[in-house]
């Protein structure tokens, strides 16, 4: 079951209740209400001392927390950090302290999730007070109850976390876009018991991503690269059907389309695809069909940069195959891509053009990303390694919207069902009647 465009509007602005498929903070009187707020502040953590190394996500969610506090709600924050077995699977005490410093409002950390300490603390809350409960993934059910079965969230709603906490609350605010593709109790279970509404981070993500795909200024183009080629081929199909005019490809994504075009990219690059892309033959066949139907709208390299024993060597695709792996787009392709980018009204970027971690092969990614950041029109960057690359290059501040989500951003752009969004959609239908 896909979204069927249900999470976007004609203009992408979500300015009225009728036009959007979810409820927001603006649709409720929240003064004095107890709000369970799910955020995604999963951060880079030093495993030796638990210190937080990157506060980007905490800062993003801090705005929602502060707004709710200033509107005199009683806020109970739920969040996760890493997962069992990882070195950074730690308590949220330092997250609470850091967010307190950012918003200059005390956030009381409760080393409990739904036990006596948590329940007593919630019952004693005053208007504007903020609690942060313990890492939800310390709870076994949060890990185990993770599938969207029989088109419902009954299992998640019956979890101990939801059954213990939901009677204490008036609203469930989901601000965790980066985890919206998950189907865990803290993300979907409360929606069966309480009105489930979007926080400001969630609202902004859906607004910008939805608008960029469906109704951003024309011409709309997408720049898709990196190694997650199967996802990108699916995204390409969805984008082309929604009116994105051109897809510029780089990285392994470009190699897939070159193979689909019948070009032998060489043993090394072909072997990488066979080893790292499950069902690669089906992915290539899908790419072939897309080229057949939309050949002039999918732009792939006409030259590449090969890694010849650590040195960058340019090669036209007509000179392939070669024993050396392809590690970047070529300079002619770069010039061509920049022309498309300079003329674009909307740009969606997800994935680098090559092995940008190696300075020898960073040229394509660096120059394409610079060109995107210099475009004065609508620019939207997917999460994960793409956001990291823009940040490392000091370009983030020039982008209109950088997504907080990696996998969630990809799932949304590929039109996959996202359980947390589906829960909010159903909640709007239920509570708009009342």
Q: Give tens-digit pLDDT for 127-167.
A: 999 999 999 999 999 999 999 988 899 999 999 999 999 99
Predicted confidence at residue 433, as pLDDT, reads 63
Supply the pTM of this predicted model: 0.87
- At 415 the pLDDT is 85
Q: What is the pLDDT of residue 18?
A: 58
Report which of 215, 253, 216 is spatially closest to residue 410, judged by C-alpha positions.
Answer: 253
Q: What is the pLDDT of residue 74?
A: 98
- CA nearest neighbour of 379 among 236, 216, 251, 245: 216
Residue 50 or 380, more confident: 380
Per the model's pLDDT, the better-predicted residue between 327 and 384 turns out to be 327
Position with higher pLDDT, 116 vs 391: 116
Give mean pLDDT, residues 37-58: 91
The pLDDT tens digits of the residues spanning 408-425 come to: 998 888 888 899 999 999
Q: Is 274 helix (H, G, I), strand (E, B) or coil?
A: helix
Give the chain's mean pLDDT. 92
**How many Cα atoms sit within 13 Å of 239 on the Cβ side?**
33
Q: pLDDT band at residue 351, thresholds of 50, 70 and 90? A: very high
Which one has a higher pLDDT value, 10 or 132?
132
- 35 in Cβ contact with 91 (< 8 Å): no
State the average pLDDT over residues 315-326: 95
In this predicted model, what pLDDT tens digit does every residue of 103-129 receive, in sequence order? 999 999 999 999 999 999 999 999 999
* Alpha carbons 397 and 216: distance in angstroms, whole number: 20
What is residue 211's predicted lDDT score, i.e. its pLDDT?
Answer: 83
d(CA 405, CA 384): 7
Q: Is the pLDDT of residue 75 over 90?
A: yes
Q: Where do we find the tokens 């069909």? A: 289
Q: How does residue 3 score in pLDDT terms, banded at 50, 70 and 90?
A: very low
pLDDT average, residue stretch 9-29: 66
Give the mean model confidence (pLDDT) for residues 33-40: 98
Can you give the pLDDT at residue 228?
86
Angle at 170 (CA atoms; ends 169, 172), nearest 5 degrees: 80
Q: Is the pLDDT of residue 246 over 90?
A: yes
Q: Which domains are seen in the chain, by residue range?
A: 23-203+417-431 (3.40.50.1260), 218-376 (3.40.50.1260)
Provide, rounded to the nearest whole percent, the portion of the chain with pLDDT above 90: 80
Q: What is the mean pLDDT of residues 255-284?
A: 96
Confidence of residue 434 (pLDDT cuts 50, 70, 90): low
Which pLDDT does position 214 carry in this prediction? 82
Strands, sheet with 34-38, edge to edge from the N-terminal-most edge strand: 23-24, 196-198, 171-174, 34-38, 74-78, 130-132, 107-109
Cα separation of 107 and 96, whole Å?
6
pLDDT of 14 above 70: no
| 276/431: higher pLDDT | 276
Q: What is the pLDDT of residue 253?
A: 96
- Are 198 and 173 in contact by the 8 Å Cβ rule? The answer is yes
> What are the φ/ψ torsions at residue 191 (nearest 5 degrees)?
-65, -15
Distance CA 269, CA 63 (A): 45
Q: Which residue has the tokens 């609470």?
A: 96
């Amino acid at each position: 079951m896909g979204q069927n465009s249900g999470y976007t509007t004609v203009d992408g602005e979500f300015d009225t209740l009728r036009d959007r498929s979810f409820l927001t903070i603006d649709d409720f009187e929240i003064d004095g209400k107890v709000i369970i707020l799910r955020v995604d502040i999963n951060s880079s953590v030093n495993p030796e001392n638990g210190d937080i190394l990157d506060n980007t996500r905490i800062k993003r969610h801090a705005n929602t927390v502060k707004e709710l506090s200033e509107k005199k709600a009683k806020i109970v924050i739920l969040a996760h950090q890493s997962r069992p077995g990882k070195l950074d699977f730690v308590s949220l005490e330092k997250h609470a302290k850091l967010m307190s410093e950012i918003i200059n409002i005390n956030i009381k950390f409760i080393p409990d999730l739904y036990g006596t300490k948590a329940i007593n603390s919630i019952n004693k809350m005053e208007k504007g007070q903020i609690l942060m409960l313990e890492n939800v993934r310390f709870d076994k059910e949060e890990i185990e109850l993770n599938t969207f079965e029989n088109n419902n969230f009954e299992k998640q709603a019956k979890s101990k976390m939801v059954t213990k906490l939901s009677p204490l609350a008036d609203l469930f605010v989901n601000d965790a876009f980066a985890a919206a593709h998950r189907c865990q109790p803290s993300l979907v279970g409360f929606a069966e018991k309480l009105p489930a509404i979007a926080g400001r981070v969630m609202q902004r993500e859906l607004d910008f991503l939805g608008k960029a795909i469906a109704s951003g200024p024309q011409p709309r183009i997408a720049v898709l690269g990196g190694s997650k080629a199967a996802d990108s081929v699916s995204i390409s199909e969805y984008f082309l059907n929604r009116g994105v005019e051109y897809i510029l490809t780089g990285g392994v994504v470009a190699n897939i389309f070159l193979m689909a075009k019948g070009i032998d990219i060489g043993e090394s690059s072909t072997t990488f695809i066979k080893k790292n892309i499950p069902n690669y033959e089906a992915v290539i066949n899908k790419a072939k069909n897309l080229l057949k139907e939309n050949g002039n709208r999918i732009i792939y390299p006409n030259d590449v940069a090969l890694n010849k024993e650590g040195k960058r060597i340019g090669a036209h695709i007509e000179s392939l195959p070669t024993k050396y792996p392809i590690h970047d787009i070529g300079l002619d392709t770069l010039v061509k891509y920049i022309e498309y980018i300079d003329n674009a009204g909307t740009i969606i970027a997800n994935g680098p053009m090559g092995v940008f971690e190696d300075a020898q092969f960073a040229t394509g990614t660096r120059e394409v990303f610079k060109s995107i950041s210099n475009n004065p029109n609508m620019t939207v960057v997917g999460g994960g390694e793409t956001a990291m690359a823009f940040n490392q290059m000091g370009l983030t501040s020039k982008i209109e919207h950088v997504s907080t989500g990696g996998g969630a951003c990809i799932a949304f752009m590929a039109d996959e069902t996202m359980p947390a969004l589906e829960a909010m959609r159903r909640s709007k239908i239920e509570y708009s009647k009342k």
